Structure 1
Amino acid sequence: MKLKALVVDDSRTMRLLVMKNLRDADITTFDFVEAEDGEQAMLKLKKQQPDIFFVDWNMPKMSGIDLVRKLRSLERFKDTPIIMVTSEKGMDKVIEAIDKAGADDYISKPFTPQIFRSKVSRLVELG
């Protein structure tokens, strides 16, 4: 099974690192789409239907947390898994992302392929 993943981070290096860790996690095959911020992600969604989102918190134009809220307000993405991948480590941020904005899970930087395997496997049925 191939999953389409939208990786949203203002750092190209971090986007590449997320994609590498997902490939190294050996969960499934991914087809990656990249965006530099929430605004660019929303534009890409006009032509894309991702199976899962990986979203950084701190980005220009539209932050990750605002993107999560926006995605959850749209019927077509209300059940699509969203994982925040961020350097924000405070429990208050985790609570805001998951309980208030609607993210499904939270990965703090730095991360490993094993962390991605654990989080993604729990969220996506790989039948």
Structure 2
Amino acid sequence: MKHNVLIVEDDPTMRVILKRTLTESNLDIGEIYEAENGKIGLEMLRQYDVDLMLVDIYMPVMDGMEMLDYASDNPKFRDIPAVVVSTENDEKRIDAILRRGMGFVHKEFTTTLLEDQIRKKIIKD
């Protein structure tokens, strides 16, 4: 089954890196959608069938945590797994992300690390 992925990241270069990592991975990736902030990310969730979100935290307009909070409160989106891809260094904040059931990958990541986090989210036991 192909998995459609929404990348929510304000840095265009990082979006290219994430997209390339997905397309070159051994993961069964379908469509890849891109948004430059959380507000556009939510609009894309409403518009497209998304199976996984890769979300940065620090973005203008609406940050990634605001977007993920909204998604988790919405019955239509709450079951879409998410991996936070961020420069976040605050261990308490990272722990809170992990406790919410999201994956976390620190920028600069390796392809293997990102793939492993995605696999954990899209492969259900």
The alignment's TM-score, normalised by the length of structure 1, stands at 0.89
SS in 2 for 1:75: coil
1:4 maps to which residue? 4
Superposition RMSD on alpha carbons, in Å? Answer: 1.5
1:12-62, Cα deviation, whole Å (9 max, x unpaired): 111111111122321112310000000111122221120000000000011
Among 91, 105, 111, the alignment partner of 1:113 is 111
Q: Partner letter of residue 81 of structure 1?
A: P
Q: How many residues align?
A: 124
1:66 maps to which residue? 66
The CA distance in 2 between the partners of 1:97 and 1:62, in whole Å, is: 17
The answer to whether the 8 A contact 2:5-2:29 is kept is no
The answer to whether the 8 A contact 1:21-1:112 is kept is no
SS in 2 for 1:77: coil
Q: Partner letter of residue 122 of structure 1?
A: K
1:87 maps to which residue? 87
The CA distance in 1 between the partners of 2:89 and 2:21, in whole Å, is: 19
Aligned-residue identity in percent? 23
> After TM superposition, what 4+ stretches of structure 1 lie above 4 angstroms from structure 2?
none
The CA distance in 2 between the partners of 1:94 and 1:125, in whole Å, is: 22
The CA distance in 2 between the partners of 1:98 and 1:72, in whole Å, is: 14
Q: Which runs of 5+ in 2 are unaligned?
A: none
The answer to whether the 8 A contact 1:57-1:86 is kept is yes
Name the stretch that deviates more: 22-31 or 77-86.
Answer: 22-31
SS in 2 for 1:27: coil
The CA distance in 2 between the partners of 1:103 and 1:84, in whole Å, is: 11
The answer to whether the 8 A contact 1:68-1:103 is kept is no
